[in-house]
Amino acid sequence: MTQEYIIAKEKYASIGIDTDKVIEKLKEVPVSLHCWQGDDVVGFDYKGALSGGIQTTGNYPGKATTPAELMSDIDKVLSLDGGKHKLNLHACYAIFEDGEWADRDALEPKHFAKWVEFAKERGMGIDFNPTFFSHPKANGLTLSSPNEEIRKFWVRHGQACLRISEYFANETGVPCVMNIWIPDGYKDIPADRFSPRARFAQSVDEILGIGYDKEKVYVALESKVFGIGLESYTVGSSEFGLGFALSRGITPLMDNGHYHPTEVVSDKISSMLLFSKKLALHVTRAVRWDSDHVIRLDDETKEIAKEIVASGRIDDIAIALDYFDASINRIAAWTIGLRNFRKALLIAMLTPHDELKKLQAEDRYTELMLKQEELKSYPWGAVWQEYCERCGVCGTEVWFDEVVKYENEVLSKRA
């Protein structure tokens, strides 16, 4: 224990916070690590351009192009963040062996056996995402397509993913969050907003219709306001996502890059929790658009973490990360974002929420503001260092040395 930690522990004790308990609690919060930061959302089944109105920018060398490389990179990231993790996979990361290949509608658990092995060895659960983009049948609408052949293809994909999700849960013993997000939408003003949404609802009903174990798989639906080339209309809007999820008893997923720029997810969490048993989040950073920048320890990130913790419902909230920056070292990008969200959770856990709530309820707004501001300079950094040390990871920026070494020894040797 460092002198800094001992001082910090006392300081927090004076406001009723037990830092040792917080450290133990933080270790147990599972953060779902998205595999797609490692290869710019390319995957292993189709090597074409990323589609679906999302975009990775930058050309930093050393991206993973094989399952072995991606797994090795994920391991590096995991070694740099203390605490529980889940692995968040997309269907396009299926691993085919011996020249075999299967299209999205024919994917089977066996195509993910390697990932299961990987996760089990590391004691992690797996979350899953059907991939409704970067595919020849995803040039236009997918689950909302008026073309029955195409719509059915994607329904079969969703069903295949549901079976794979159940397989993940069975194998790892940890429930799997299967998140449905479709890029469907129109660049310009549609004549018919209704029909695509009706078809989307029908399609998801057909996917869920095959039945699944609701204790093992939590199906989530991610909404979005717009995408590149899909500026005027997205089928899976916020109202659609919320209405559908609540009416079907599945989980709404909010990605904080998926709203109008002045809307904040931190303000939405409490409302959602009032009406939904569970809530799923994609934590990202949107800079002027849904740009998926690396998460920083900025105000909104901290506010999201605060709402999660202050709600008292952290166990009902599935936290996943969703960003992809190709302009800087990808391992560092991944790690910075992951550690930042973990830091935001720590800061939230070091906050005397009950006391602050009481000030609000008693209309003591001056004191509330004073306390909120003073808390900002409390020594959470010393608690963070102690947390990292107890988890066996580096508590300072020195972790970057590991990344430099990995870049020199591994990344720079990639084609």
Active site residue 399: no
Number of residues that bind ligand RNT (CB under 6 A): 11
Does the footprint of Zn ion cover residue 307 (CB under 5 A)? Answer: no
- Taking a C-beta distance cutoff of 8 angstroms, is the pair 321, 33 a contact? yes
Task: Indicate the SS3 state at residue 126.
Answer: strand
Q: By CB under 5 A, which span of 48-56, 80-88, 95-103, 278-286 interacts with Zn ion?
A: 278-286
Q: What are phi and psi of 90, to 5 degrees?
A: -105, 150
Does the footprint of ligand RNT cover residue 282 (CB under 6 A)? Answer: yes
Residues 6+ apart with CB under 8 A from 131: 43, 90, 91, 92, 104, 157
Structure tokens that stand for 144 in this block: 């909302």
Q: How far is the CB of 263 from Zn ion (least distance, A)?
A: 15
Give the separation between CA 216 and CA 169, rounded to whole angstroms.
Answer: 6
Active site residue 111: no
Query: Which is closer to ligand RNT, CB of 218 or CB of 378?
Result: 218
Which does residue 199 touch among Zn ion, ligand RNT, none (CB within 5 to 8 A, set by kind)?
none
Task: Classify burial at 169, counting beta carbons within 10 Å of its beta carbon; exposed 0-12, middle 13-18, buried 19 or more.
Answer: buried
Query: Which is closer to Zn ion, CB of 40 or CB of 171?
Result: 40
Q: Which residues inside 91-150 make contact with ligand RNT, applying CB under 6 A?
A: 129
Does the footprint of ligand RNT cover residue 36 (CB under 6 A)? Answer: yes
Catalytic residue among 181, 380, 384, 399: 181
Active site residue 103: no
Structure tokens that stand for 141 in this block: 């609408």
Q: Which of 45, 73, 255, 290 binds Zn ion (CB under 5 A)?
A: 255
Q: How far is the CB of 54 from ligand RNT (least distance, A)?
A: 5
Task: Indicate the SS3 state at residue 209.
Answer: coil
- Taking a C-beta distance cutoff of 8 angstroms, is the pair 285, 323 a contact? yes
Chain centroid offset of residue 311 CA = 19
Chain centroid offset of residue 197 CA = 25
Which does residue 54 touch among ligand RNT, Zn ion, none (CB within 5 to 8 A, set by kind)?
ligand RNT
Does the footprint of Zn ion cover residue 282 (CB under 5 A)? Answer: yes
Catalytic residue among 81, 171, 255, 325: 255
Residues in the chain: 415
Q: How far is the CB of 292 from Zn ion (least distance, A)?
A: 8
Active site residues: 181, 222, 224, 255, 258, 282, 290, 292, 322
